[in-house]
Protein backbone atom coordinates (compact mmCIF):
# COMPACT_ATOMS: atom_id res chain seq x y z
CA UNK A 1 0.00 0.00 0.00
CA UNK A 2 2.83 2.39 0.88
CA UNK A 3 4.52 1.64 -2.45
CA UNK A 4 1.28 2.34 -4.37
CA UNK A 5 0.74 5.60 -2.47
CA UNK A 6 4.36 6.62 -3.09
CA UNK A 7 4.02 5.89 -6.83
CA UNK A 8 0.71 7.80 -7.05
CA UNK A 9 2.25 10.74 -5.19
CA UNK A 10 5.26 10.73 -7.55
CA UNK A 11 3.00 10.59 -10.63
CA UNK A 12 0.86 13.43 -9.23
CA UNK A 13 3.97 15.53 -8.69
CA UNK A 14 5.10 14.93 -12.27
CA UNK A 15 1.75 16.03 -13.71
CA UNK A 16 1.79 19.22 -11.62
CA UNK A 17 5.40 19.90 -12.65
CA UNK A 18 4.67 19.28 -16.32
CA UNK A 19 1.71 21.69 -16.30
CA UNK A 20 3.84 24.32 -14.56
CA UNK A 21 6.43 24.04 -17.33
CA UNK A 22 3.95 23.75 -20.19
CA UNK A 23 4.51 26.14 -23.08
CA UNK A 24 2.09 29.05 -23.36
CA UNK A 25 -0.69 28.68 -25.87
CA UNK A 26 0.55 28.99 -29.41
CA UNK A 27 -1.64 31.82 -30.65
CA UNK A 28 -1.17 34.67 -33.08
CA UNK A 29 -2.69 36.60 -35.92
CA UNK A 30 -2.46 35.92 -39.63
CA UNK A 31 -3.45 38.73 -41.98
CA UNK A 32 -4.88 37.87 -45.37
CA UNK A 33 -4.89 40.38 -48.20
CA UNK A 34 -6.69 40.29 -51.52
CA UNK A 35 -9.34 42.13 -53.47
CA UNK A 36 -12.38 41.76 -55.68
CA UNK A 37 -12.30 44.21 -58.53
CA UNK A 38 -14.00 45.28 -61.75
CA UNK A 39 -10.61 45.78 -63.43
CA UNK A 40 -7.56 43.51 -63.37
CA UNK A 41 -4.20 45.25 -63.62
CA UNK A 42 -0.52 44.65 -62.92
CA UNK A 43 0.85 47.33 -60.59
CA UNK A 44 4.31 48.70 -60.13
CA UNK A 45 5.76 51.65 -58.28
CA UNK A 46 6.82 54.76 -60.18
CA UNK A 47 9.17 57.44 -58.91
CA UNK A 48 10.29 60.28 -61.16
CA UNK A 49 9.10 58.43 -64.29
CA UNK A 50 11.08 55.27 -63.50
CA UNK A 51 9.04 52.18 -62.72
CA UNK A 52 10.12 49.45 -60.32
CA UNK A 53 9.47 47.94 -56.92
CA UNK A 54 11.92 50.11 -54.95
CA UNK A 55 11.22 53.69 -53.87
CA UNK A 56 14.45 55.57 -53.09
CA UNK A 57 14.01 57.77 -50.03
CA UNK A 58 17.56 59.12 -50.33
CA UNK A 59 20.47 59.49 -47.96
CA UNK A 60 20.12 61.98 -45.12
CA UNK A 61 21.98 62.94 -41.98
CA UNK A 62 20.70 61.84 -38.59
CA UNK A 63 20.11 65.53 -37.82
CA UNK A 64 17.66 65.80 -40.76
CA UNK A 65 15.80 62.60 -39.83
CA UNK A 66 15.67 63.73 -36.20
CA UNK A 67 14.11 67.05 -37.21
CA UNK A 68 10.42 67.72 -36.67
CA UNK A 69 9.38 66.55 -40.16
CA UNK A 70 12.02 63.89 -40.87
CA UNK A 71 13.61 63.55 -44.28
CA UNK A 72 12.17 65.33 -47.32
CA UNK A 73 8.95 63.72 -48.58
CA UNK A 74 9.27 61.63 -51.75
CA UNK A 75 6.32 61.39 -54.15
CA UNK A 76 5.63 58.09 -55.88
CA UNK A 77 2.70 56.40 -57.60
CA UNK A 78 1.25 52.99 -58.10
CA UNK A 79 0.75 52.56 -61.83
CA UNK A 80 -1.58 49.91 -63.17
CA UNK A 81 -1.36 48.32 -66.59
CA UNK A 82 -4.09 46.18 -68.16
CA UNK A 83 -3.20 42.93 -69.95
CA UNK A 84 -3.40 44.80 -73.30
CA UNK A 85 -0.76 47.30 -72.10
CA UNK A 86 -3.13 50.24 -71.62
CA UNK A 87 -3.31 52.24 -68.37
CA UNK A 88 -5.75 51.23 -65.66
CA UNK A 89 -7.86 54.30 -65.08
CA UNK A 90 -10.73 54.92 -62.71
CA UNK A 91 -13.77 54.66 -64.97
CA UNK A 92 -15.71 57.90 -64.46
CA UNK A 93 -18.54 59.11 -62.26
CA UNK A 94 -19.44 56.86 -59.36
CA UNK A 95 -16.31 54.74 -59.81
CA UNK A 96 -13.40 54.64 -57.39
CA UNK A 97 -10.49 52.50 -56.28
CA UNK A 98 -9.48 51.36 -52.79
CA UNK A 99 -5.80 50.83 -52.01
CA UNK A 100 -4.88 48.97 -48.82
CA UNK A 101 -1.37 48.77 -47.36
CA UNK A 102 -0.06 46.27 -44.80
CA UNK A 103 3.52 45.78 -43.59
CA UNK A 104 5.38 43.07 -45.51
CA UNK A 105 8.06 42.93 -42.85
CA UNK A 106 7.84 44.15 -39.30
CA UNK A 107 4.70 46.00 -38.31
CA UNK A 108 3.11 49.41 -38.09
CA UNK A 109 4.46 51.56 -35.28
CA UNK A 110 2.90 54.76 -34.00
CA UNK A 111 5.15 56.63 -36.46
CA UNK A 112 5.13 54.41 -39.57
CA UNK A 113 6.45 51.18 -41.07
CA UNK A 114 9.01 49.49 -38.87
CA UNK A 115 12.50 49.40 -40.38
CA UNK A 116 14.63 46.25 -40.44
CA UNK A 117 17.76 48.20 -41.37
CA UNK A 118 20.72 49.04 -39.15
CA UNK A 119 19.66 52.63 -38.36
CA UNK A 120 18.10 52.53 -34.91
CA UNK A 121 14.83 54.28 -34.07
CA UNK A 122 13.70 54.81 -37.68
CA UNK A 123 10.50 54.19 -39.61
CA UNK A 124 9.19 54.84 -43.09
CA UNK A 125 6.19 57.13 -42.95
CA UNK A 126 3.90 56.02 -45.80
CA UNK A 127 1.21 58.56 -46.71
CA UNK A 128 -1.81 58.87 -48.99
CA UNK A 129 -2.50 61.60 -51.57
CA UNK A 130 -3.47 64.03 -48.78
CA UNK A 131 -0.35 63.30 -46.66
CA UNK A 132 -2.36 61.27 -44.14
CA UNK A 133 -0.05 58.62 -42.67
CA UNK A 134 -0.98 54.96 -42.88
CA UNK A 135 -0.93 52.99 -39.63
CA UNK A 136 -2.59 50.00 -37.97
CA UNK A 137 -5.90 51.89 -37.80
CA UNK A 138 -5.69 53.52 -41.25
CA UNK A 139 -4.65 51.03 -43.93
CA UNK A 140 -7.06 51.79 -46.79
CA UNK A 141 -7.53 54.93 -48.88
CA UNK A 142 -10.11 55.60 -51.58
CA UNK A 143 -9.30 57.40 -54.86
CA UNK A 144 -11.71 58.84 -57.41
CA UNK A 145 -10.88 59.72 -61.01
CA UNK A 146 -9.78 63.30 -60.16
CA UNK A 147 -7.25 61.92 -57.64
CA UNK A 148 -5.48 59.70 -60.17
CA UNK A 149 -4.49 61.48 -63.40
CA UNK A 150 -3.64 58.97 -66.15
CA UNK A 151 -4.51 56.17 -63.72
CA UNK A 152 -1.52 56.92 -61.45
CA UNK A 153 -2.41 56.48 -57.77
CA UNK A 154 -0.25 59.02 -55.85
CA UNK A 155 1.45 58.33 -52.52
CA UNK A 156 4.23 59.84 -50.42
CA UNK A 157 6.91 58.55 -48.07
CA UNK A 158 9.79 59.75 -45.96
CA UNK A 159 12.10 58.61 -43.17
CA UNK A 160 11.20 59.58 -39.61
CA UNK A 161 12.54 58.83 -36.17
CA UNK A 162 10.37 56.86 -33.75
CA UNK A 163 10.26 59.63 -31.17
CA UNK A 164 13.72 58.59 -30.02
CA UNK A 165 16.77 59.93 -31.86
CA UNK A 166 17.62 57.99 -35.02
CA UNK A 167 21.16 56.71 -35.46
CA UNK A 168 23.14 56.35 -38.70
CA UNK A 169 22.63 53.15 -40.69
CA UNK A 170 20.34 51.68 -43.34
CA UNK A 171 16.57 52.08 -43.43
CA UNK A 172 14.78 49.11 -44.98
CA UNK A 173 11.04 48.63 -44.93
CA UNK A 174 8.45 46.92 -47.11
CA UNK A 175 4.68 47.06 -47.47
CA UNK A 176 2.22 44.99 -49.47
CA UNK A 177 -0.72 46.59 -51.22
CA UNK A 178 -4.04 45.49 -52.65
CA UNK A 179 -5.96 47.54 -55.22
CA UNK A 180 -9.67 47.13 -55.81
CA UNK A 181 -11.44 49.04 -58.60
CA UNK A 182 -15.12 49.63 -57.73
> Rounded CA gap, 92 and 88, in Å?
12
Which of 29-33, 94-98, 102-106, 154-158 is least confident? 29-33
**Residue 136, Cβ density class (10 Å: 0-12 exposed, 13-18 middle, ≥19 buried):** exposed
pTM of the model: 0.78
CA 23 from centre of chain: 30
Higher pLDDT, 22 or 107: 107
What pLDDT score was predicted for residue 90?
Answer: 84
- Cβ-contact 114, 173 below 8 angstroms: yes
Amino acid sequence: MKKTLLILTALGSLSVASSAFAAPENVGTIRFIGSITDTTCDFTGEQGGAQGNVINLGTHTAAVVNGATGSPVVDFSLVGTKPDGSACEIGGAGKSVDVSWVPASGSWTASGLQSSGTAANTVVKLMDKDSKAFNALYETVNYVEADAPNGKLPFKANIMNTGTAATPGTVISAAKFAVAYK
